Each structure stands twice: as C-alpha cells, then as structure tokens.
Amino acid sequence: MIFRTFEKQELKKLFEILAAHNRIIGPVETGRDRDGRPVYAFADVTDYDDVELKYSITKLPAKRFFLPFKEDLSTFRIENDTWQKEISYNVDRPLIFFGLHPCDINALNKLDKVLLHSVYPMPYYAAKRENMFIVGMDCIPQPYCFCRSMGSDTALHGFDMFITDLGSRYFVEILSNTAFNFLKNIKTSEPGEDDHVLYMKVVAKRNNEFTRHVDTTDLTKILDMEFQSEVWKEWGDKCLSCGTCSSVCPTCYCYGVDETVDIDLKGARKTKMLHSCNLIDFAEVAGGHNFRPGRENRLKYRYYHKHRGFVEAFEESLCVGCGRCGESCLADITVPEVIDSIRGSGRNK
Ligand code: SF4
Ligand code: SF4
C-alpha cells in the first residue's frame, strides 16, 4: 500500500478532476428529520460544495447503484414470428463513489463474495462493480453503529483510495494504479514520521468513540443451540413484517424474479426485484405453501442468514454493524438487542 498526505484544499481539486469526465455519487443532505438532525443520501453530485464530507450515515446504503431495487434482466420481442432476446447489464458509464465509509466498503466486499466470487456470479452486479472507483473516507462513530464489534470499522481493501482527516491535512491510502494516477494531478507529499504518529492518534481517538458493542463470541454455536428459543417468538410478535430492515441494509441481496408479458402480446420481460425475508410471501412456493408463515420464523431466518449461514460459508458475518436497520425499524428491533437477548436466553435457563 502507498501512503500520501495532502493539504485540505487539494481535495476539491481532486473532486473536480474526477468529476470532469465521470459520474460521481456522494453523500448529500436531503432534509431534516423530526428532531432536526440532517438526513443524508447518496446522490449524483457535480459540485464539490454539495458533498457532505462529515455526514453521519445515509438512510439508504449505496446499494441501489449496483443492486437496484428493480432491474430488467432480459427483454423479449416477437419479430418475424420469432422471439428476440435482449440483455443489458444496465451500465451507462463508470461510477465514482466519493466518501464511502468503511462499513459500506466492507458491505461491498461481502456482497462480492456472493455475487462475484461464488459458483454463480451475477453478471449484472459484476458489470457495475467493475466500472466503479471508490474514494473511501473515515467516519465519526454514531451511537447506533456497532461496526467495531463486526470487524467493519476499518476497510483493508475494496477501495481505490481511502482518505483520513488528520485535522490540518488529509492522509490517503492508495490501493489502485488509477487512484495513484489521479493523485498525480494534485499536490501530495510522502508522509513523514510525524504524519504516521498523528494518523495513529486520530485512529486511536476514533476507536474510543465507539459506544455500541455486541458480543459475537461463539455466536454461530449459540444460534444453533437457541434455534427453538422463545426469544424469537417475542421479537416476532413485535415485528411488523414491513421489510424496511432489508431495504436499508447494505448487505441484503435476496431477490425475486417476475416474468411479465406486454398487453399487446408482442413483448415480455424478466425483472429482478429485491425482496426481504421478513415479507410474508418470501418463502411461499408454487401451489401456495408457505415455509415461513410466522413472523418469528421470518425474522429468525434473517438473523440466521446473516450471523450463521453466511459465517459458515464465508467465515464472516453478513452484517457490518452500520445500525441502519435498527434506526429505521418502526418496532425498535435492533441487531445488538436481538443478539444480546438470544445470548441471555441461553444463560438464564
Ligand atoms: S424487524 Fe423492523 S424493519 Fe424489519 S420487518 Fe420487522 S418491523 Fe420491519
Ligand atoms: S443487518 Fe442492520 S446493522 Fe447489519 S449491515 Fe444490515 S442494516 Fe447494517
């Protein structure tokens, strides 16, 4: 890895160089919530002054740019009495993500394991992912995030460059040739020993600011032991089965496929739509049988996929601890509380 430092005003210059020929997605403020706190979203940005570098977290993850909620996989037309099939990976030009936090970069790394590097890679995701340039940015720990417990508070890969605010200047980690070449356009310096010391101080200070933690020790075993626990029923009774948690989650990727025929019978399409395992029809199969008709079963399987099945397959959890699901849940169901309760259910017996 190559390191550099640069003065703060150089970041604007870097943004403008990147924006000259590329589409940039960055964090912007979109309004205020009922408590007056800013609400952020990832959106197209062309003006550096619109980018909120000190954003807390976006309500929705960057997922919609590489796993859109709804996407045509293929379209069909009848021409000369035969079906013509068209496939588009729906990529118009490269995307630059400017200011992704470590948790969102780690979420992409986890999605890559399933959608890029598994037995059945998804070409629609791969095409978007390959045309992506990521500028990571350090974050300020929030009271609801528990990314440090999930090992997602720092990103070791999955970005082109990663910028840390040292106060008076920026420290940048460079992982790709493209990033190295872009940085040649601004004034950078080799970090000295004082930069290294300052960087470590900044990181240590940030590490102390994480206040929410969750104990994941032996979690896969505990989940196996507590599969029949009454705790699932209690959480299931609270759950509204609205699916919001999956929509806001940067790592939920389950989807369904619909096939529709145009009203003139001359065309058809196959459409992928993101689904949620908490929705009532998620496990319904042909003939109408539903394998998970109860709310507690659906909620339970979401946790088993994230913290049990994915760990077994990839040796890491499918949760980055961003806290978005708990923040958005109208029933106040949060991952730390569910995990704590399932651990507690074993201890109290
Ligand atoms: S856990 Fe919360 S957000 Fe998720 S489906 Fe249940 S009520 Fe909705
Ligand atoms: S399960 Fe919740 S806390 Fe974990 S990654 Fe998804 S939204 Fe974030």
pLDDT for residue 92: 81
pLDDT at 256 over 90: yes
Q: Write the single-letter amino acid at 216.
A: T
- DSSP annotation of 306 reads I
Q: What is the mean pLDDT of residues 24-40?
A: 95
Name residues whose C-beta falls within 8 Å of residue 341's C-beta, 6 or more positions apart in sequence: 231, 234, 235
Q: Decide if 128 contacts 103 (C-beta within 8 A).
A: no
The overall average pLDDT reported for the chain is 95
Q: Write the single-letter amino acid at 269.
A: R
Q: Counting ligands in written order, which one lies closest to the CA of residue 282?
A: 1
Out of 152, 335, 338, give the residue to mutate to test ligand 2, the one with the largest number of ligand atoms within 8 Å of its CB: 335
| Assigned token pair, 238 | 């609270």
pLDDT at 347 over 60: no
Specify the ligand 1 atom closest to the Cα of 328: 3
Q: Give distance in angstroms: CA of 244 to centre of ligand 1.
A: 6
Specify the ligand 1 atom closest to the Cα of 246: 4
Question: pLDDT, tens digit, for every residue of 276-330?
Answer: 999 999 999 999 999 999 999 999 999 999 999 999 999 999 999 999 999 999 9
pLDDT at 147 over 80: yes
pLDDT for residue 276: 95
Q: Counting ligands in written order, which one lies closest to the CA of residue 101?
A: 2
**Between 286 and 5, where is the model more confident?**
5
| Strands of the sheet with 267-274, listed across from one edge | 82-86, 70-79, 267-274, 255-261
pLDDT at 348 over 50: no
d(CA 315, CA 60): 26
CATH node for 2-67+89-208:
3.40.640
d(CA 39, CA 67): 22
Residues in the chain, total: 349
Q: Please state, for a pLDDT cut of 70, what percent of the chain lies above it.
A: 99
- DSSP annotation of 246 reads H
pLDDT for residue 312: 94
Protein residue with least CA distance to atom 5, ligand 2: 319
Specify the ligand 1 atom closest to the Cα of 244: 3
260 exposed, middle or buried (CB, 10 Å; 0-12, 13-18, 19+)? Answer: exposed
- DSSP annotation of 58 reads B
Q: How confident is the model at residue 349 (pLDDT cuts 50, 70, 90)?
A: very low
d(CA 132, CA 227): 40
Q: What does the CA dihedral 150, 152, 154, 156 come to, rounded to 10 degrees?
A: 120
Q: Give distance in angstroms: CA of 329 to centre of ligand 1.
A: 5
Q: What is the mean pLDDT of residues 263-279?
A: 94
Q: What is the mean pLDDT of residues 139-159?
A: 96
pLDDT for residue 219: 96
278 lines ligand 1 (CB under 6 A): yes
Protein residue with least CA distance to atom 8, ligand 2: 322
Q: Give distance in angstroms: CA of 318 to centre of ligand 2.
A: 8
Q: How confident is the model at residue 7 (pLDDT cuts 50, 70, 90)?
A: very high
pLDDT for residue 345: 64
pLDDT for residue 295: 95
Helix (H, G, I), strand (E, B) or coil at 39: strand
| Residues 156-165 as b or e (16 or more Cβ within 10 Å = b) | eebbbbbbbb
Quote the crossing angle between the two packed helices 123-130 and 102-115, to the nearest 10°. 140
Out of 322, 328, 338, 340, give the residue to mutate to test ligand 2, the one with the largest number of ligand atoms within 8 Å of its CB: 322
Q: Give distance in angstroms: CA of 180 to centre of ligand 2.
A: 32
Protein residue with least CA distance to atom 7, ligand 2: 249
pLDDT for residue 190: 96
**Domain ranges across the chain:** 2-67+89-208, 219-251+281-347
